[in-house]
Structures are given as C-alpha cells and as structure tokens.
Structure 1
Amino acid sequence: MSHKHFTIDEKESILKFLKLDFNLEKIDNEIRKHKSSINREIKRNKSCRAKNKLEDSM
C-alpha cells in the first residue's frame, strides 16, 4: 500500500468545501480521498484555520 500526502491543491479544495459547508462525504467525492483521511487532515490543520479566521476578521 502506498501512502500519499495531500497536495496543496487538495488542501485548498478541502478548505473551500468546508467554507461551503460540505460534509466529509461530499468532499471525498470531489477530491477522491477517503473521508477518514480528509478528517485527519482537517484535525491536523485545525489550529491553522482558526488562526487564519481570526486574522481575516481583523
């Protein structure tokens, strides 16, 4: 089994879909990654998103 990282484009797509309130199943259909992988990526980068959201509101 080969393990592959998310590309920058995939990460940006996840962020875009989250902003559009897509659920994990819709996101996995769009970027062709398993929803558990997407969920781990979201959790891994949660603090980064919170920081960006705070900066955007200023």
Structure 2
Amino acid sequence: MFKIEMPDYMPAKGEWGKNKKTALFFVKFSAHLALRLGLLIFLTPFYMLKYFLILISKR
C-alpha cells in the first residue's frame, strides 16, 4: 500500500556527533515512517466500516 524508501547510507555509531546532517535526516525519516504507519493503523477501521456498511446496504 505504501512504498517505504530506505536511506542508502546508514551511519555508524561513532559518526552521529560528526555528521549532524545524516542524523537529522535519519530522525526525519523515522518520524515520517512512524507518521505513515500511525495513519495507516488509524484509518484502517474507517475503511472496514465503510465496506461493512456497503455490504449491509446491498442486502
């Protein structure tokens, strides 16, 4: 349903302090992923409900 892009470059543990840009990118990436998953989990019941109502109304 959603395409998840993995970053090409994963920094080593010692590089977090040196490479601020990469760390920032990683934080943004994780937040984006969490938001997508949260939205997906949040919206699934509504879709189920919609199809359920359609199913009932057709009978």
**What's the TM-score, normalizing by structure 2?**
0.32
Larger Rg: 2
